[in-house]
Amino acid sequence: MILSALKYFFKNFLPLALFSLPAAIFLAIKYNHSLFFNYIFNTGIDEGTTPTFIKIYEHFSLLPSINILMILLWSVLLIFSFCLLFAFIERHMKYGISSYLKSLKSVNYSVMVILPAFITIIALEELFAMLNALFVRLLGVTGGTFGSIIVPIIYIVLLIVLFLIYSILSLWIPVRMVTGYSNKDSIRYSLRLTQGRQFKIMFGLMFPLIVTAPIMILFKQLSILQDFNTIVYSLCYIFIIGYLPAYVMAAYFEYSKTERKDIKNKIFRKFKY
């Protein structure tokens, strides 16, 4: 499924990158200034200082700021990007039609589909951030050697739990986009389709993070040009944001045994003459 998503992403790179760009730039700016990696591994923290829980939480949080207007702007950009991406991919895979204009026209419906899932993901992400900040504050900053060992382990365990939850809910949006089911029925169908496949889907969801995280960490630690870092981070987030909808949509079509018209059309063109 990862190969299928990658193949789709690179063959449709231009529209996926274009739709991902607004959210990718915003996330790049946020995480270019984030120090959550330093807190996890207890590096880069000034000796003699004890960061507060709020300060640590701000670096783990997915939210760009505590400013309400900034959060609203960030949310609008992120939701808009995912609405365009899912609308484009759904129409392409379901009907074999790739259209920028029709993706824009489908935004109103896509918002109703994306918004509940977006709120759920943000709630889970912020709970994840608070738990990590709590453990860093209690163990990482003041726990000495023991804290520096146990905090990364706790972070990895929490990350796996978070993505296992995501794997169970991963087909929620594709089910609702393709079938028009209610949120409740879409979640139920997602649970059924992902049963026994949770770890496989979890790895597929984590794949773009596994690929890009070393790159972003490397540039964070070595580069002195913050603007260049933002460009690199933006490219990484274009890949992450563009890949994830492609992956979950491809997974839905595969696991539900639904025919993908984008593949059929390509095969038809290939053997047309």
pLDDT tens series, the chain, 273 aa: 899 999 999 999 999 999 999 888 888 876 655 555 555 555 444 455 567 888 888 878 888 777 788 888 888 889 999 999 999 999 999 888 888 887 888 888 899 999 999 999 999 999 999 998 888 888 765 556 666 778 888 889 999 999 999 999 999 999 999 998 999 999 999 999 999 999 999 999 999 999 998 888 787 777 666 667 788 888 999 999 999 999 999 999 999 999 988 886 554 444 333
> 25 CB contacts (<8 Å, ≥6 apart)?
230, 234, 237
User: Considering only CA atoms, which of 17, 28, 26, 37 is closest in space to residue 230?
Assistant: 28
Tokens (6 digits) for 206: 């984590």
Query: How many beta carbons lie within 10 A of that of residue 259, not counting itself?
Result: 10
